[in-house]
Structure 1
Amino acid sequence: MALSLLLATTAAAEPVYPAPDPDPFYAAPGNLAAHQPGDVLETRILPPLAGFPGATVRLIEFRSTNSRGAPIAATTTVLTPAFQQPGMPLLSYQHFINSLGTGCAVSHLLYSNDVNLSATTPMLNVLLTRGWSIALPDHLGPQFALGAGRLGGQITLDGLRAAKQLPELALQTSPTLLTGYSGGGLATAWAAALQPSYAPELQLAGAAIGGAPMNLVAMAEGLGLEPHPAFGLAMAAAIGLEREYPEQVQISSNLNARGRALRDAMANSCTNEILAIGAGGSAREMTDQASVFNMPEAWSVVEDNSVELYGGAPRIPIFEWHSPTDPLIPLQSIDNTARRWCAAGVRWQMVHVPAIDHLSAAAVGAPAVLAWLEGRVRGEPAPSNC
């Protein structure tokens, strides 16, 4: 497994956390523990965006919860249409951030011509022109803990709570939906699955999940120990999980000089940099350990962040799309999740899109996602091919 050697536990070493955002807005206030999940801590109006003409851009800091149950400060960026009306739909879009640096926050990427975000910009603009508001949470949390899917689900739900608290957004009674692709699909899947227990008061109308790694263990097995074009993502996920679970996941203790150099090079990097830095790497090259160790604590973390292995199920309709030839994500895990959620009574519609790779499926599937989301708002029966 590509993560096996990286997750071996020996003598402890400190995780490498991202550099703090220089903007004090993102810092947690001193009275954070006095707030409830979803409570608004601070808001800021950001400059207009050329990519979303006419939209008001509002950054919201709110209280959320990390994987150990402790309070954290998180952020979401909310786009509201030029002619906003009370009660119009609210969509939480989980962008595939897949990053490790605070400079990769969505509120920063919106102003940097991020090519990955541009894949879904047309769909989001269509919804804005129809009066929808769009929330884009920083679902990796303040430490940018890539791979911590449960955390992403909780932040996504608390971001919706926060958006609905602000009177100026007039979203208190709005139909509310979720969507996301790849790493954003992972956060979306976790938000949908956790909502009945974590945020039961939130009334969700549905969730569209695209190209999501439903089982991180299976994804690690698929990447393997040999050189792989996407090794950077495996390495970054190990770094992210160590940040969120430092007592259980200790990769830094097992890295050799080459591994430490790679870790440090990507510690503050965004998606495309991580892919470029780690391309063709392998776990064998990054550690001095010669074999796979028994690592129950570390692997339990990977399992606990795998949606396929979570015992709960959503109580809302699900639209799921991916390429049937996707070389990156474990397709069998999507099928397994579909069978389990269907057995639990979920209205699940799976769509295979005609894309040959992982990233292009995000854009290819966008028209079908748009139609499905609008159908939920119109109150149409959710289609299912369970």
Structure 2
Amino acid sequence: MAVDRTVHRARRFGRRRAAAVLATALLSAVAGGLSTAPAGAAVYPIPDPDGFYAAPPNVGDYQPGDIIRSRSVPASGFPGAVAWQLLYRSTNSTDAPIAAMTTLLMSGGGGNRPLVSYQPFVNALGLQCAPSHTLFNGGLQEAPALNLLLARGWAVAVPDHLGPTSSYGAAKLGGRLTLDGVRAVKRFGPAGLGNAPVGMAGYSGGGMATAFAAAMAPDYAPELPIVGAAMGGVPVNIGKLALDLGSKPNPLFGLGFAAAIGLEREYPSVMSLDDTLNPAGVELRNRLANACTDEIINAAANKSYTDYLHGDVNDVTDDRIRVLHENSTEIYPGVPRAPIYQWAGSNDQVNPWLAREVAGRYCAAGDRVQFDIIPGADHGTAIAPGAIRAFNYLGDRFANLPAPSNC
């Protein structure tokens, strides 16, 4: 019963501490050597049984953002809206062509209007946990809030920003998928959004994807008319976060372990866990390969890296440090061109002052940044008040009002 109570608390406060535990377990898990995955290891998820998601053999013939196929779907939970799903070409972190998915919601049919790409926080390894599924089956906690955006007359795109192998933790990939997803939506004729101004938003893990998209856009997708980006609770350096937090047993350890698996999927030649996992760790990786958030939390509640891994938390190879840096906006040299709204709670377990330093670098490069600290809020309680400000901020950008800045 004590374990049940702990897991229940973990579920209630998971969003409050998830990013912190993710980083702690992540840095612990990537310590160790390299190897090739043994036969039968459940590193990758079971492919989506819906053939719509499958990449065609000639996926490399498409350009990033090109639509491979599209379909309309029932917009369950979004009264008065229509919904489409678009499979589009993107590129993974090793520069291989991939097929990715975004879901487009619009009220009142097609027609030019502002477009918001919303990146949810998705803490999962199974493909059935992706937003394109959970938007409509009650599994995505943020889904009801999207009706607030639709009520403003905006179109909303929700990408599966973890990609076709659910590479949880690969934030740079999330930024690339976000931008290519916006390209796909703007190229989708029935929606009529070719001339739509673009805003982006997300919190926590979704904030990481949003932050990367904003920083990458000037070089990767300079043609996109991004008028503003809003993100909250963003972990800007997962390696530093891990070192700050230590490695004590935690009810949410499974989320960090899952992030290590996600990076292993995205960087298989560098991030293999095979020489790092003990037998219990191998079993846990197999068990989590197709899991969503609750199952991941339950599987390793109140555990620590010593239960599943060997090696020291500080024993990380140069190649693995490179991967951690590649997925940290503090290190990424790109600077957003679009105005930024960013927020964090003053008591956030994800260091808000480090995020503010990154915002200061953007300011020094000439970007306009409004960074709000919400007094007394932690990682969970900062979501709602910041999101209200974020939506209003994007509304002002769509109205062509001058962007505020407290640089």
CA contact (8 A) 1:354 1:364 kept: no
Alpha-carbon separation, structure 2, partners of 1:294 and 1:379: 47
CA contact (8 A) 1:7 1:299 kept: no
The 3 A distance-change label for structure 1 pair 144 and 96 is: same
Alpha-carbon separation, structure 2, partners of 1:380 and 1:325: 31
What's the TM-score once normalised by structure 1's chain length?
0.94
Percent identity over the alignment?
A: 46
CA contact (8 A) 2:75 2:136 kept: no
Q: Could you say which residue in structure 2 is the equivalent of 1:40?
A: 67
Q: Could you say which residue in structure 1 is the equivalent of 2:348?
A: 326
Which runs of no fewer than 5 residues in structure 2 stay unpaired?
1-23
What's the TM-score once normalised by structure 2's chain length?
0.89
Q: Could you say which residue in structure 2 is the equivalent of 1:82?
A: 108
Q: Could you say which residue in structure 1 is the equivalent of 2:228?
A: 206
Q: Could you say which residue in structure 2 is the equivalent of 1:158?
A: 180
CA contact (8 A) 1:10 1:254 kept: yes
The Cα of 1:270 is off from its aligned counterpart by: 1.8
The 3 A distance-change label for structure 1 pair 256 and 342 is: same
Alpha-carbon separation, structure 2, partners of 1:356 and 1:130: 28
The Cα of 1:292 is off from its aligned counterpart by: 4.1
Aligned pairs for 1:173-184 within 5 A:
173-184=195-206
The Cα of 1:55 is off from its aligned counterpart by: 0.7
Q: Could you say which residue in structure 1 is the equivalent of 2:45?
A: 18
The yes-or-no answer on 1:313 pairing with 2:335 is yes
The yes-or-no answer on 1:138 pairing with 2:163 is no
SS at match of 1:254: coil
Alpha-carbon separation, structure 2, partners of 1:291 and 1:146: 20
SS at match of 1:93: strand
Aligned with residue 94 of structure 1, among 114, 119, 123: 119
CA deviation string 1:22-44 (max 9, x = no partner): 00011101110110000000011
The 3 A distance-change label for structure 1 pair 257 and 137 is: same
CA deviation string 1:261-314 (max 9, x = no partner): 222222211223323333322112212336742411112101111001111100
RMSD, aligned α-carbons: 1.7
Aligned with residue 113 of structure 1, among 138, 161, 183: 138
Range with bigger deviation, 245-254 or 5-14? 5-14
The yes-or-no answer on 1:304 pairing with 2:326 is yes
Alpha-carbon separation, structure 2, partners of 1:382 and 1:345: 13
Q: Could you say which residue in structure 1 is the equivalent of 2:358?
A: 337
CA contact (8 A) 1:18 1:100 kept: yes
Alpha-carbon separation, structure 2, partners of 1:170 and 1:291: 51
Alpha-carbon separation, structure 2, partners of 1:222 and 1:273: 27
Alpha-carbon separation, structure 2, partners of 1:339 and 1:318: 11
Q: Could you say which residue in structure 1 is the equivalent of 2:262?
A: 240
CA deviation string 1:301-357 (max 9, x = no partner): 011110011111000100001211112x12232022111111111111111235643
The 3 A distance-change label for structure 1 pair 295 and 44 is: same
Range with bigger deviation, 273-282 or 36-45? 273-282
Alpha-carbon separation, structure 2, partners of 1:355 and 1:87: 40
The 3 A distance-change label for structure 1 pair 52 and 355 is: farther
CA contact (8 A) 1:60 1:77 kept: yes
Aligned pairs for 1:246-257 within 5 A:
246-257=268-279
Q: Could you say which residue in structure 1 is the equivalent of 2:244?
A: 222
SS at match of 2:346: coil
Alpha-carbon separation, structure 2, partners of 1:354 and 1:265: 40
Q: Could you say which residue in structure 2 is the equivalent of 1:368?
A: 389
Letter in 2 for 1:113: G
Alpha-carbon separation, structure 1, partners of 2:83 and 2:105: 5
Letter in 2 for 1:106: P
Alpha-carbon separation, structure 2, partners of 1:216 and 1:292: 14
The 3 A distance-change label for structure 1 pair 260 and 117 is: same
Aligned with residue 85 of structure 2, among 59, 62, 77: 59
The Cα of 1:9 is off from its aligned counterpart by: 3.4
The Cα of 1:129 is off from its aligned counterpart by: 2.2
The yes-or-no answer on 1:196 pairing with 2:218 is yes
The yes-or-no answer on 1:231 pairing with 2:253 is yes
Letter in 1 for 2:126: G
Letter in 2 for 1:93: Y
Q: Could you say which residue in structure 1 is the equivalent of 2:14?
A: none
Aligned length: 380
Range with bigger deviation, 218-227 or 6-15? 6-15
CA deviation string 1:212-233 (max 9, x = no partner): 1111112222342221233222
Alpha-carbon separation, structure 2, partners of 1:223 and 1:141: 28
SS at match of 1:352: strand
SS at match of 1:380: coil
CA contact (8 A) 1:218 1:330 kept: no
SS at match of 1:172: coil
CA contact (8 A) 2:227 2:339 kept: yes
